[in-house]
A and B are shown apart, each in its own frame.
Chain A
Amino acid sequence: MPQYRRADRIHQMLENYLPVLIFIAVGLVFGAFMVVLGMILSPSRPDDEKLSRYECGFEAFAGARSEFDVRFYLVAILFIIFDLEIAFLFPWATVLRELGLFGLLSMTLFLAILVVGFIYEWKKGALQWE
Chain B
Amino acid sequence: MVESILSLLTLLGFPDWLQSVIIIMLKIVVILIPLLTAVAYFTLAERKVIAYMHVRIGPNRVGPRGLLQPIADAVKLMFKEIIIPHGADKALFLFAPVLSMAPALAAWAVIPFEAEMVLAQVDASLLYILALTSMGVYGVIIAGWASNSKYALLGAMRSAAQIVSYEIAMGFALVGVLMAAGSINLGEIVMGQQGGFWHWYWLPLFPLFVIYFISGVAETNRAPFDVAEGESEIVAGFHVDYSGMAFAVFFLAEYANMILVAMLAALMFLGGWLSPFEGIGIFADSWLAAPSILWLLVKTSLFMFLYLWFRATFPRYRYDQIMRLGWKVFIPITIVWILVIGVAIVAEVGPWFAAGVAHG
Contacts and interface: CB of A to CB of B under 8 A. Distances in A.
A94 B153 CA distance: 40
Nearest to B177: A93
Contacts of B78: 37-38, 41-42
A54 B126 CA distance: 40
B149 A54 contact: yes
B172 A86 contact: yes
B160 A24 contact: no
Q: Is the interface of B mostly helix, strand, loop or mixed?
A: helix
A79 B167 contact: yes
A52 B175 contact: no
Given A19-B27, A38-B245, A94-B360, A53 B331 contact: no
B328 A122 contact: yes
Interface of B: 20-21, 24-25, 27-28, 32, 77-88, 94, 97-106, 108-110, 119-123, 126-128, 145, 147-154, 157, 160-161, 164-165, 167-168, 171-172, 174-176, 178-179, 182-184, 235, 240-241, 244-246, 248-249, 252-253, 319-320, 323-324, 327-328, 331-332, 335, 338-339, 342-343, 345-346, 358, 360
Given A34-B248, A96-B179, A107 B240 contact: no
A24 B245 contact: no
Closest 8 CB pairs of A and B: A38-B245, A31-B101, A129-B320, A27-B102, A31-B98, A86-B171, A93-B178, A27-B105
Interface residues of A, number: 67
B153 A68 contact: yes
Interface in A75-106: 75-76, 79, 82-83, 86, 89-90, 93-97, 100-101, 104
